[in-house]
Structure 1
Amino acid sequence: MSVTSLSFPYGESICWYSPDELDRLPDSALADWLLASGSLTARLRAHCSQFEVRVLGEAMLPGLPGEPQLPHTWVREVLLILDGTPWVFARTIVPEALLTRCGDELTALGDRPLGELLFSSDLFTPGRIEIAGFHSCGTLARLAESLGQNVHGRLWGRRRYFEREGDELIVSEIFLPAAMDYILGPQ
């Protein structure tokens, strides 16, 4: 696997939509994963023997294209790996004001999943979910290929907002081809 921190950030600009704005949702099995209100981390753990978080990079960066226009944001990108196979690329965006108030909780996660913090703390309130289906021809496709996964169709993902003291952090989760193959089953 040729994933290096030199490529950080991997995420690319994606147009996200409220589920009711889309003309057509994906196959019902995938829609169930995209629209689930609970912790994706908990759901993924239920589908494997060994769950791993691999940090691709984390840093304070200037505003990112396609994301809310904030002067500076802390960005964390990880792979969620099930039984040795990367399933999900996740990107967390935290505005500087929120990072100032609760930075240690977030910046000291290391290889622990953020989902455990967000869903075990009364300080974070889960909010709206947006979804996207897109043909990746950029950095996410190259990332998947570096992991031995060919992007052979649309990738799907979701973006979830979590509010704390008036500020929102955003978690985007893109299902990689291995996850899509498992969820959709034989076609």
Structure 2
Amino acid sequence: MVSSGPGSDPRWRPLAAARPAMSPEWWQWVASRDSLTARLISAGGHRHFRVRLLNQRLGRPRRDETLALGLPLAHHAWLREVALCLDERPWVVARSVVPLDGLHGQRLDRLGERSLGSWLFRQPDLERGPLEVSADSAPFHTDSGPWARRSLFRHRRFAVLVQEFFLDRMAGDLGLPSR
């Protein structure tokens, strides 16, 4: 479960706590619990959707990710960073973190430029934990954005922390307010 108790990162807060600061237009995007990939494709209309793989490797998660996953601080994980693009323009950047002992034979390194959500949302027993929200921009990407969200997904014994950072470009292309 994503941590929101003592020791958690203050940049991330429960979804309900962000509601007063968020416009109704952004709330529809940030609070949705369905597939963000599917929502982006729908919102993009005739634009071409693409997942651009930015980075994929074994490494140490950031401290806030380690706390959210309940891992020891020196624990390694599978890290994946992608840009979700419409007509080659990034609208969202995402970072996924999977503890190595939680992979259980899943070959996520073979996803390439397919979205993790395209696999996750096909799992009949998928459980999604509570959403947390941040107003910070992606720490691994140069573009900023108004909002970010994250939640923990579980599929049997597999767990992945998915963090999605909405970019200013998306707001501009869709005519959304800056916050």
Q: Report the RMSD for the aligned CA atoms in angstroms.
A: 2.3
TM-score (normalizing by structure 2): 0.80
Gap regions ≥5 residues in structure 1: 1-12, 145-150
SS of corresponding position for 1:181: helix
Gap regions ≥5 residues in structure 2: 1-8
TM-score (normalizing by structure 1): 0.77
Counterpart position of 2:92: 88
Counterpart position of 1:102: 105
- 2:166 aligned with 1:170, yes or no? no
Aligned ranges 1:85-164 → 2 under 5 Å: 85-99=89-103, 101-104=104-107, 106-134=108-136, 136=137, 139-140=140-141, 143-144=142-143, 151=144, 155-164=146-155
- 2:40 aligned with 1:44, yes or no? yes
Identity across matched positions, percent: 31
Displacement over 6 Å in runs of 4+: none
Cα distance, 1:160–1:183 mapped onto 2, change above 3 Å:
farther
- Cα deviation, 1:131-170, whole Å, max 9, x if unaligned, reads 1113x49653xx22xxxxxx4xx62111021012345211
Report if the CA contact (8 A) 1:35-1:129 is conserved: yes
Counterpart AA for 1:62: R
Between the two proteins, the alignment pairs up a number of residues equal to 162
Report if the CA contact (8 A) 1:30-1:183 is conserved: no
- 2:51 aligned with 1:53, yes or no? yes
Q: 2 CA distance for matches of 1:173 and 1:41?
A: 11
